[in-house]
Amino acid sequence: MLTQIHIWNFAIVESLDLEFDSGLTVLTGETGAGKSILLDALGLALGDRADSSVIRHGSDKAEISVSFNTNDAPEANAWLLEHEMHSDDECIIRRTVSRKGSSRAFINGIPSTVQQLRELGEMLVDLHGQHEHQSLLQKEVQRNLLDDYADHKVLISNVRDDYQQWLQLEKEFARLSSANNDRDSRLELLRYQVQELEALDLQKNETEKLEQELKRLSNANQLLQTTQNIIDRLDENEQHAVSSAMSQSANDLTDLIRVDEKLAPIAELLNTAIIQAQETVSELRHYLDSLELDPARLSEVEQRITDIHNLSRKHRVEPEALVELLPDLQKELQDLEQADIKLVDLENQIEQAKTTYIKSAKKLSTSRNKTAKLLSTKITDAMQGLSLQGGQFKAECIVLDEKQWSATGAENIEFLVSANPGTPIKPLNKVASGGELSRISLAIQVITAQAARIPTLIFDEVDVGIGGRVAEIVGLQLRALGLHRQVVCVTHLPQVAALGHHHYQVSKQTDQSTTVTAINPLDTTQRVDEIARMLGGIDITDQTLSHAKEMIERAQN
């Protein structure tokens, strides 16, 4: 539900702050006062095209901020959650337009695109009249409206699930059939590839281990020679062995300690170093004993690495990926070898899934046709009281070819109308007159109000070309609609204005340099004056005031 709108420097509005409540809110005012500015501002906030012409003269930027309570808009809440913009049950949409023509948009403080504004706006507000937000012209909305009216939630869920199951089986059958077309050549290739990989028998991390072993075997001579040299320097060179020098030094220090005990810690360090040197020599001798020149193993490792790299190049993968490739090829080979059996089994499953879908779709179609007839009658009757005598409405279920069946069923729903007797019935989006379209939309909304998804309806000049008794009927219809939905209506008819739960007056104030539009809520006394103005024009008599008061009082009963 729309709760608040702030407008700054938009058109001829300098600053405007309005709060809205549930029920029917009417906006009235003199011709040219700017009654449609509010709707234009709302349209901009919900994704209409923006340019610098909307900015008030003398200002650098226009800004619109619109607040909604979304506890009555589950689809909008779901959308906000999906896009990580949810904030309890509140949604604030803000849009700015600069003098340079650029615009910025925010949803709950998060920068957003115009497309996102439009998507969310279509779930929050439905504008009726000569505006762009006329969702009833969309066939998808027409289908949803009929389904919601009939409470088809379970039937639609069954159809959607059955269709998805059928579609998945069809895709699997197509995949296997395509593979089966090249079956012989593919089988031959797969058998060869699997046999080759199985013969290779590559183990996980084997390539890395082989590379390390190759490096060691290739440098065996260097490892042997250098290790022996180190051992010689440390221990086996009689004249220059490091261990001998360290031992002699330790003996000398022992003698000196008798003279100065401060040398004891140093002697301890040297003795530790001697032990570590001896351990080093021992470990090097052990390592040397394990080393050997093995040309045969070197050749074997080189060949193994060559085989791995050749096969990886053939399959265009890294060597280690060959380990994971083998089970994939084995499964494909198994599937292909059993393809004939699987294809026959899939054909049976597809036929069964199709039968299940047809059964679910038929139940939905039967209920849709029944609901379509009921809606056609009710909406046609409602049109007669809206100055559309002889008009006709028809909700038509258009049967689709099998290739066009979908998760939404086996038919399309299309709303057809004839606004005047003798004129051919045609799609709703082909209705030429904005006034006729608004009244037809009103009839549809009144009948389907309790099942509709969008919480806020806005009607702009739905009463064009009518008056008297019909105008009062329109007002009663709008007021009745306001019991289930939030309704905002721009009107010039006192019969409609008197039936509003809330009343705003639009006025234009002009001085020598500026023109400003203001919108103010009216109390009971002010409402009487405004209704009287609408009834009597310039000269407002006591009788006119009395009539206006009577109209308002009658509306409350």
**Mean of per-residue pLDDT scores for the chain:** 87
Domain edge (last residue) among 337, 363, 388? 337
Q: How many domains is the chain built from?
A: 3
Give the pLDDT mean for 519-546: 88
Residue 121 token pair: 């706006």
Domain membership of residue 8 (yes or no) is: yes
Q: Which residues contact 347 (CB under 8 A, 6 or more apart)?
A: 173
Read off the CATH number of the domain in which 470 is found. Answer: 3.40.50.300
For residues 555 and 507, membership in a common domain is answered with no
pLDDT for 351 equals 96
pLDDT in tens, 31-69: 766 777 888 899 899 998 888 888 988 899 999 999 999
Residue 109 CB neighbour total at 10 angstroms:
10
Of the listed ranges 13-22, 205-214, 455-464, the least confidently predicted one is 455-464
What is the DSSP pairing of strand 456-460 with strand 125-128? parallel
b/e per residue 206-233 (b: at least 16 CB within 10 A):
bbeebeebbeebeebeebeeeeeeebee
Assigned domain for 144 exists: no
Top pLDDT among 106 and 210 is at 106
pLDDT digits (tens, 9 = 90+) for 444-479: 877 887 667 789 988 887 666 667 777 888 888 889
> Both 69 and 115 in a single domain?
yes
Statement to judge: residues 200 and 83 lie in one domain? no
Residue 357 belongs to some domain of the structure? no
Looking at the structure, tell me whether residues 197 and 106 fall in a common domain: no
- C-beta separation of 408 from 160 below 8 A: yes
> pLDDT tens digit string along 247-258?
888 888 888 888
Q: Yes or no: say if 36 and 27 are a contact pair by the CB < 8 Å rule.
A: no
Residue 193 neighbours by CB under 8 Å, 6+ apart: 315, 329
Q: Judge whether residue 131 has pLDDT over 50.
A: no
pLDDT value of position 504: 94
**pLDDT at 464 (0 to 100):** 66
Structure tokens belonging to residue 385? 């009281």
Q: Are strands 502-510 and 24-29 parallel, antiparallel or unpaired?
A: parallel
Whether 253 and 121 map to the same domain: the answer is: no
Last residue in a domain, options 291, 316, 337: 337
Task: Answer whether residue 49 is part of any domain.
Answer: yes
- Which are the contacts of 517, defined by CB distance < 8 A and separation ≥ 6? 11, 12, 13, 16, 33, 34, 37, 506, 507, 508, 509
pLDDT at residue 287, as a whole number: 83
Domain around 93: 1-129+461-521
Domain co-membership, 497 together with 538: no
Same structural domain, 308 and 191: yes
Domain boundary among the residues 305, 337, 369 is at 337
* Rounded Cα gap, residues 167 and 374, in angstroms: 33
pLDDT, tens digit (0-9, with 9 covering 90-100), for 71-116: 988 889 999 999 999 888 899 999 999 998 889 999 999 999 999 9
Least confident of 142-151, 225-234, 340-349: 225-234
Give yes or no for a contact between 444 and 138, defined as CB atoms under 8 angstroms apart: no
d(CA 306, CA 303): 5
Average pLDDT over residues 327-354: 87
Q: How far apart are CA 91 and CA 43, in angstroms?
A: 16
Burial label for 447, CB within 10 Å (0-12, 13-18, 19+), is buried
149, part of any domain: no
Q: What is the pLDDT of residue 289?
A: 78
72 lies in the same domain as 210: no
Whether residue 12 lies inside any domain: the answer is yes
Q: Give the least confident one: 155-159, 366-370, 536-540.
A: 536-540
Reported as a single tens digit per residue, the pLDDT across 226-237 is: 888 888 888 766
Look at 214 and 498; give whichever has higher pLDDT.
498
Is the pTM higher than 0.85? The answer reads: no
The count of other CB atoms within 10 Å of the CB of residue 200 is 17
Specify if 356 maps to a domain. no
Shortest CA distance to 373 belongs to which of 212, 530, 104, 149?
Answer: 149
Average pLDDT over residues 137-154: 90
With tokens 């059964």, the residue in question is 359
- Specify if 409 maps to a domain: no
Residues 228 and 102 in one domain: no
Sign of CA dihedral 530, 535, 541, 547: negative
Could you read off the pLDDT of 177-199 as tens digits, one per residue? Answer: 776 667 777 888 889 999 999 98
Same domain, 547 and 473: no
Segment 288-311, tens digit of pLDDT? 877 777 778 888 888 888 888 899
- As a 3-state breakdown, the chain gives helix, strand, coil percent values, each rounded to 5, of 60, 20, 25
For residues 318 and 206, membership in a common domain is answered with yes
Statement to judge: residues 547 and 484 lie in one domain: no
- Beta-carbon neighbour count of residue 111 at 10 Å? 9
